[in-house]
Amino acid sequence: MYSLGALCLGLMLFSCKSNRGNGQLIGVQERPKWTNIQPYGMNYVKAGHLYVGQADEDVNLSLYQKPKSVTIAGFYMDETEITNNEYRQFVYWVRDSIAHVALDHMWEAPNGESRIDWDNYGVDYSAQNPESEDLEFMYYDEANRINGKREIDVRKLIYRWDWVDLKKAAKMPREEAYNRRAELVQRDSAMIYPDTLVWMRDFEYAYNEPMTEGYFNHPAYDDYPVVGVTWKQAKAFSQWRTRLWEDNIGGTANRSKGGKKGKRRAGIYNEIPEFRLPTEYEFEYAARGGRVSTTYPWGLNYIRNSKGCLLANFKPGRGDYAEDGGFYTVQVAHYNPNDYGLYDMSGNVSEWTESAFIENAHSFIHDMNPSVTYNAEDEDPTTWKRKVVRGGSWKDIAYYLQTGVRDYEYQDTSKSYIGFRTVMAFPGRSLTDR
């Protein structure tokens, strides 16, 4: 009896100590502290309201894409389109990851870092590492080499990722979703190297060979928007960017767009929601820059400023492509940003969104964070594969630059005038100004 009483007393004392609330409901203590983050190269778009609907210039579409009032939650958005050099980081990561799996050890760099010396691989590197043949599968074979040059076979650069079909889960009864969890986990893959031939495929009777040969690879185009990527490749990039953040969350992370760095402190919770493509309504809301009714992101109803200078990269007049300062695409952030600090929300390249294209979507979308999404399979009808693109591009007339204009492209196609940027939900409090 004494032992049992002592045990009970001990449990009571331990329980009182551990609760630290004197019997009050105070929640779990010593939870990680949340601090707001500013992802590098992204700007905050505060929550707000807008009217969506087709621009008046398109009379036919205006008849069934009628105006609708919607509210958008706050989110972070890339200041610019994803550039060639930023996308190249993705390509190199996939290349190196495949090689790391194939090799048991790497070449030891002078600083002690293990890496693959791709510049010398298969030349003098093979003498240092007799097992260098293990990576031969990543190169074009001799029959496919040009002037005998060893080049990576870009068909081998495949990125694989998993994602959870939350919409499917939400349609299931609760217990059924628990018991069929494996069915909700989707495994996807994509060849991620851009299609550099889009410059010739899109314009058959034009001399665009120099763009095909140099646009993605030449350093002169590093700060130009990446093109030639499908909707699925843009999705793969977004998922990889999330993984890149998560893999480096324990080390030094960029905290501001100015590049200042700060160590992760113990007890600070820095996990973030995933990077993803914006919905078409997030894109339109961000493009307006907080203005209620404006035709273009720069806040004017005209495409020229008071000095007569064009305000975006598009096809002015009857086809004087160079009048706006760019023949094809131009460097990102070449023109002034809108009131949210976002560049090229109209012109330069059109941009993929998360949204499926349905002509009369405005008639049934919700008025809170509207989004119409559909993950089309290869065997699905062609019309199910349409994805909304927004913003207009360097080859479009001014009509497509208007913030209210919707257009589409098929998710399995790539174009020389379509790029993308990513967004990230603002976690935590529903603030309009943070």
SS (H, E, C) the chain: CHHHHHHHHHHHHHHHHHHCCCCCCCCCCCCCEECCCCCCCEEEECCEEEEECCCCCCHHHHCCCCCEEEEECCEEEECCCCEHHHHHHHHHHHHHHHHHHHCCCCEECCCCCEECCCCCCCCCHHHHCHHHHHHHHHECCHHHCCCCCCCECHHHCEEEEEEECHHHHHHCCHHHHHHCHHHHEEEEEEECCCCCCHHHHCCCCCCCHHHHHHCCCCHHHCCCECCCCCHHHHHHHHHHHHHHHHHCCCCEEECCCCCCEEECCCCEECCCCCEECCCHHHHHHHHHCCCCCCCCCCCCCCCECCCCCECCCCCCCCCCHHHHCCCCCCCCCCCCCCCCCCCCCCCCCEEEEEEECCCCHHHCCCCECCCCCCCCCCCCCHHHHEEEEECCCCCCCHHHHCCCCCEEEECCCCCCCEECCCEEECCCCCCCCC
Question: What local confidence, expressed as pLDDT, does residue 43 receive?
Answer: 95
97-115 pLDDT, tens digit each: 888 877 755 555 444 555 6
Higher pLDDT: 378 or 410? It is 410
Residue 24 confidence (pLDDT) above 60: yes
Q: Which of 4-8, 261-265, 314-318 has the lowest mean pLDDT?
A: 261-265
Average pLDDT over residues 123-150: 71
Mean pLDDT for all residues in the chain: 82
Question: What local confidence, expressed as pLDDT, does residue 181 receive?
Answer: 82
Q: Which of 2-16, 56-70, 236-250, 325-339 has the lowest mean pLDDT?
A: 2-16
Residue 245 confidence (pLDDT) above 80: yes
Question: What local confidence, expressed as pLDDT, does residue 317 receive?
Answer: 83
Question: What local confidence, expressed as pLDDT, does residue 265 receive?
Answer: 40
pTM of the predicted model as reported, rounded to 2 decimal places: 0.85
Question: What local confidence, expressed as pLDDT, does residue 124 receive?
Answer: 41
Q: For the chain, give the percent of residues with pLDDT over 70.
A: 78
39-48 pLDDT, tens digit each: 889 999 999 9
Residue 360 confidence (pLDDT) above 60: yes
Domains in the chain, CATH or no CATH each: 44-83+196-230+279-434 (3.90.1580.10), 96-157 (no CATH)
Residue 264 confidence (pLDDT) above 70: no
290-320 pLDDT, tens digit each: 887 788 999 888 899 888 899 999 999 888 9
Residue 3 confidence (pLDDT) above 70: no
Residue 85 pLDDT grade (very low, low, confident, very high; cuts 50, 70, 90): very high
Q: Which of 84-88, 103-107, 181-185, 255-259 has the lowest mean pLDDT?
A: 255-259
